[in-house]
Amino acid sequence: MEYTPQRWSFLAKVAVVGGILLALFVAGYYTGYFRKDCEQDKKCFQEYVQKCKPAQVAVIRNNNAYLYWVGWQLGKTCEIKIKSLRVDAGAPPEFKNLEGKEMSCKVPKEELAATNFDNFDNLLQYCHGPLKEGLYEVIIQRMYSLVVSQLGDIVKEAKTVLKEV
């Protein structure tokens, strides 16, 4: 088959149209156009998570608002992203730093059915990002406060033990 200028013109048009369609698909994927909006229905989102299909849900937990979403996944893991939208006005000051932060969790697909997305304890081992770091900072601050508040009792007990020796 001989490639004439008309044939090259046709192939160029097919390539351009194919490129445009691919760009539209990629843009739709990244903007969430193909994502199922479960609104606030956690069961709907859990069904999509278990199949690792694109979906999103807004969750209110302890008067804090979070947005969870999943995109198309091709590997052995399913990426679930979590963003802290709003922290309750009455929350302790250290929680205010979490507002607007997000984390990405890559959960192995074989563990999706057993993973409850609404419980951070189930997800944190698979996550990374500013929200996870912020949560750990809050945990460390609270643990430090507990140790310091109990330090007086610990010192008294230590003195008592030392007097007995």
Q: Domain total for the chain?
A: 2
Percentage of the chain lying above the pLDDT 70 cut: 86
Interval 97-108 mean pLDDT: 93
Contact 95, 65 (CB under 8 A): no
Distance CA 30, CA 44 (A): 21
Question: Confidence band (pLDDT; 50, 70, 90) for 25?
Answer: low
**Residue 7 sits in the same domain as residue 72:** no
Span 34-57, pLDDT tens digits: 556 888 888 888 888 888 888 999
Are 77 and 24 members of one domain? no
Same domain, 69 and 147: yes
Average pLDDT over residues 131-150: 88
- For residues 29 and 40, membership in a common domain is answered with no
Rounded to two decimals, the pTM is 0.69
> Which residues span the domain enclosing 54?
36-164
